[in-house]
Amino acid sequence: MKMTFRWYGSASDPIPLKYIKQIPGMTGLMGLLDRPAGVAWAEEDIAALVKEVNDAGLELEVIESVNVHEDIKLGLPTRDEYIENYNVTIRRLAKHGVKVIVYNFMPVFDWLRTDLARVIPEDGSNSLYFDEKDLGEMGPLEIVRRTAEDSKGFTLPGWEPERLALLETTLKQYEGMTQDDLRANFKYFLDAVIPVCEETGVRMACHPDDPAWPIFGLPRICHSQADYDKMVKLHDSPANTLCLCTGSLGSDPNNDIPSIIRHFGEMDRIGAMHVRNIKFLGYHHFREAAHLSCTGDLDMYAIMKAIHDVVPDTYVRPDHGRMIWDEQGRPGYGLYDRALGAAYLNGLWEAIERGE
Ligand SMILES: [Mn+2]
């Protein structure tokens, strides 16, 4: 296992690389260049990022994320140009030592929460929270408007208020698209990029839908074992893998996370792991918990044991943490609770190894 940490780059991440390096057992990052979907990343920018990270004593073998342009998901004729750019980016990243690219194939929205700083009554810390009841009858446009008014903290990443008109158009383009239609567009993408990955030694790792069910009537195709069984067959290659996020898949209690890890790990289709805990509060209602098993509803020992048994060499990062000790920062991505998470997960790992 390689313990890694998500980092957004020195221009936008307040956490210095030096602090990340000081977390015991930390080997590297899941890092990125902040570029719009669809553009080819400049090689000199990639080289500069890798150098900056390496100079801090950390590796950059995982990129999270290289985003997939909406036209690719929509299957528009313009997709070929964006796919070509994606392949250019894969080749350049490979040249600079990148082994895994995390991405997702969610239409329009990335993750969605209804509160970004819900106070946890037991200890006064706060974390990301979702209650479908709070969405009520609201559609996505209404939620983006509310976000603009900063009234309730709804967050739809990537949809700033000034892009509202574009959002309306994009949502219309998805009208009538079925899961199978989206899957066909996914296959077209994979058929184009996976051969480049095979040639360059890179693995694509697809992150699950978060939360793990369809929202706003949009098709979503990556939130269960059955979904991913279809996904890995779309282009059958060891380079076509999952970024198995325990918190995203785990938001649906029907997903048995250790069993899903074993299933896809035994097929060698796990490229990277995000490990975090979830506290269920009701139907489609949860908050993110500290990593420790007893603070949430996922069995973190069973999760780490499954990783140990089937994908012992994979990349793991502590996913979202709570905000503790009055830290101010990007919701889910503070230093302190994620560092505690890494230490805990490393402790479980050591115990599992010693137990053998
Ligand atoms: Mn994740």
C-alpha 338 chain-centroid distance:
15
Q: Is 207 one of the catalytic residues? A: yes
- Length of the chain, please? 356
Mean pLDDT along residues 305-319: 98
- Structure pTM? 0.95
Find the range with the poorest average confidence among 51-65, 92-106, 157-171: 157-171
Catalytic residue, from 315, 333, 336, 344: name it: 333
CA dihedral 261, 4, 109, 157 (to 10 degrees): 150
Three-state DSSP class for residue 129: strand
Which pLDDT score is estimated for 62?
Answer: 98
Which pLDDT score is estimated for 162?
Answer: 65
Residue pLDDT, tens place only, 229-279: 999 999 999 999 999 999 999 999 999 999 999 999 999 999 999 999 999
Q: Is 320 one of the catalytic residues? A: yes
Backbone dihedral angles phi then psi of residue 85, each to the nearest 5 degrees: -60, -40
Q: Is 274 one of the catalytic residues? A: yes
State what percent of residues in the chain have pLDDT above 90: 82
Catalytic residue, from 69, 223, 235, 274: name it: 274
Exposure on the CB side of residue 214, measured as CA atoms within 13 A: 11
- Place 134 in a pLDDT band, splitting at 50, 70 and 90: confident
Which pLDDT score is estimated for 160?
Answer: 64
Is the pLDDT at 151 greater than 60? The verdict is no
Q: Is 309 one of the catalytic residues? A: no
Is the pLDDT at 344 greater than 60? The verdict is yes
The candidate with the shortest Cα–Cα distance to 83, out of 182, 194, 178, 159, is 194
Edge-first strand listing for the sheet containing 277-282: 115-119, 126-131, 285-289, 277-282
From ligand 1's centre to the CA of 222, what distance in Å? 13
From ligand 1's centre to the CA of 195, what distance in Å? 26
Residue 329 in tokens: 């920062």
Burial of 184-193, coded b for 16+ CB within 10 Å and e otherwise, reads: ebbebbbebb
Residue pLDDT, tens place only, 6-44: 999 999 899 999 999 999 999 999 999 999 999 999 999
Which pLDDT score is estimated for 161?
Answer: 62
What is the Cα–Cα distance from 125 to 1, expressed in whole angstroms?
29
Is the pLDDT at 143 greater than 90? The verdict is no
- Return the number of other C-beta atoms located less than 10 Å from residue 283's C-beta: 10
> Between β-strands 2-6 and 28-31, what pairing exists: parallel, antiparallel or unpaired?
parallel
Q: Give me the domains of the chain, ranges plus CATH numbers.
A: 2-136+178-354 (3.20.20.150)
Mean pLDDT along residues 167-184: 93
Chain-wide mean pLDDT for the chain? 93
